[in-house]
Structure 1
Amino acid sequence: MLTRRGTHLRSELKIKGRKTVTMYYNLKAGQSASAKDKNKKLVARLLQDRGADRILFLYLAKEQAREAVMQQHIYRHPAIGNLINEYIFGDRYTEHFGNQLLKATIALASTCIEFCLKEWTEGHFDNTTFTVSENSVIFASHLADLDRFERLTIRHNLYRKLAAKLLTNARYYAGLGDLTDLAPTAGRMHEQATDTNDNPLKH
């Protein structure tokens, strides 16, 4: 179960999440002043602490340049799907997801991406200790943002569509087929799995 493997996941996500962030946000490891300056400005923009822009890194790249009120497709950045596909979802967790990903799964991926981006705050990679106390607060914030996203878009059912899409992609990536291939007991297993508000970082 996801929450019972928290210690292992923290280590695995920290190591492998760095590769995802470096690749999908186009961060350069060069030592030149220009490369560092470019990295620093990019990360500062993605992590700026100003209202809705605080989670700019969760939007598709083409949406990041738009005005906040015009931005669409939050949680659609490919780094999120990549992290879920490769490092969170797999045969060992299949029976716990039902027909959509738990909010805690998306929040965990978002927390990992934010942590890894912060390691580039000064324009170069800085190996930072992943502390449960600090990142649990960030995880809770992402979970609250997902709750808010669901409430604000409930009329169009956008959260469920997003969660189902992420799960469908993860299943295909793992070679498990479409959601229609789920066993009849999958729904019951989903209900028995971790609560959506449970924090996998603490286990």
Structure 2
Amino acid sequence: MYDYSNDHVVRSTKWRRKSSKEDVLDPVVVKVQKLVEHEGRPRTRDYDEVTQEFMMTAIGEYHARLCAEAPMPDHLAETSILDASWAWARKATGVNLARTPQLVKIVTSRGSQVHGQLKTKLHLLIEVIFGFHSSQSKSMIKKNQSLAEGLKEGMNFAFKHMAADEGKRRGFLKAPLIQKIVNMMWFANKHDDGVVFHKHYKPFPYLALVLVLMVIECCIDEWMTGMRTDIPFTIQEYRGTYESHLKCLHAFEDAMKDYDVLPAICTRLYEAGRIHSSAALLSAPMEVTVSAQVIATAIKEHEEGSTMEDESD
């Protein structure tokens, strides 16, 4: 997989990565060599080592782009992200691999697992943090219903300090649960996506934050009847919720743009996540310079022959 810790490529604000004169690829198309045949779903390990390396790079890039740029993609967005990820894998590996329907399916199927992974990591955490209880007693069922309704009311779940009175709520988008999810999903360790693909996650992307808000709401929705009922976290089920949260975030950003509140929140999510991963924080490389005094001294040493004397010692 390509190591993004040494990547200095400037990311375009659009899905498609802009090409440059430096992006010179081998024009020879490398044919895919499949080593194992079976009737099940196509797998990366079914192919030769060159194909496996290319695919792991493409899959990682696709997964990162999907979360950061289109967590609820339509077909056009999915295709655009696939194109960009495939092009990046070609550049990163130096291999111009033939793009087959089977390989495309492997990449896109990995991406579609994002929602399920996020939901699996979160639903038990929601139960513990908010205090839902599985019970058949009428009083507990009613309590769970009331709790779920209160959390969803005005996005109470997204506040650091929740309150029935809207004027007393504090810390919008600063709920500890949000950071916990970010840490679990993208910064579990120094090899996780938030670290490896930092070009996509620094600062933490707005759309990935929308994805977090959606999955929290999905897990709360499961308690709306008072007893937990599994609700699939799918594009079909939560497209409307996605649009609603996205609109909310845009409105919040616009209202607070003079104070850069949302960018600061997303920067904090990234930095706290990176610390949680135990990876060192990125810093700008030190500029290496040679001062005029050093140059003058070197010239003087050369003229006096001291350089030759040093070499003979």
Does TM-score exceed 0.5, indicating one fold?
Answer: yes
Q: Check if 1:122 corresponds to 2:207.
A: no
Alignment of 1:150-165 (within 5 A): 150-165=253-268
State the Cα distance separating 1:98 from its structure 2 match: 5.1
Q: TM-score, normalised by structure 2?
A: 0.52
Q: 1:23 to 1:177 in 2, by over 3 A?
A: farther
Q: Check if 1:16 corresponds to 2:121.
A: yes
What is the match of residue 64 of structure 1?
163
What amino acid maps onto 1:118 in structure 2?
D
State the Cα distance separating 1:183 from its structure 2 match: 6.6
CA distance in structure 1 between the partners assigned to 2:147 and 2:122 by the alignment: 18
Contact 2:204 2:270 in 1 (8 A): yes
Contact 1:43 1:121 in 2 (8 A): yes
Q: Check if 1:92 corresponds to 2:186.
A: no
Contact 1:20 1:83 in 2 (8 A): no
Q: Helix, strand or coil for the counterpart of 2:115?
A: helix
What amino acid maps onto 1:151 in structure 2?
D
Is 114-123 or 73-82 further displaced after alignment? 73-82
**Which of the numbers 124, 133, 137 marks the counterpart of 1:32?**
137
Whichever structure has more helix as a proportion of its residues is: 1
What amino acid maps onto 1:63 in structure 2?
M
State the Cα distance separating 1:64 from its structure 2 match: 2.5
Contact 2:186 2:193 in 1 (8 A): no
Query: More relative contact order in 1 or in 2 (CA 8 Å, sep 6+)?
Result: 1
Q: TM-score, normalised by structure 1?
A: 0.77
Q: Helix, strand or coil for the counterpart of 1:116?
A: helix
Q: Check if 1:111 corresponds to 2:214.
A: yes
Larger Rg: 2
What amino acid maps onto 2:193 in structure 1?
R
What amino acid maps onto 1:141 in structure 2?
S
CA distance in structure 2 between the partners assigned to 1:130 and 1:158 by the alignment: 29
State the Cα distance separating 1:71 from its structure 2 match: 2.8
Contact 1:20 1:82 in 2 (8 A): no
Contact 2:187 2:276 in 1 (8 A): no
Q: Helix, strand or coil for the counterpart of 1:28?
A: coil
CA distance in structure 2 between the partners assigned to 1:96 and 1:124 by the alignment: 41
State the Cα distance separating 1:134 from its structure 2 match: 2.6
CA distance in structure 2 between the partners assigned to 1:103 and 1:73 by the alignment: 17
Q: Check if 1:134 corresponds to 2:237.
A: yes
Q: 1:8 to 1:96 in 2, by over 3 A?
A: farther
Contact 2:194 2:274 in 1 (8 A): no
Identity %: 22
Alignment of 1:47-58 (within 5 A): 47-48=152-153, 53=154, 55-58=155-158
Length, aligned pairs only: 175
What amino acid maps onto 2:240 in structure 1?
V
Long gaps (5+) in structure 1: 185-203
Long gaps (5+) in structure 2: 1-60, 67-107, 286-313
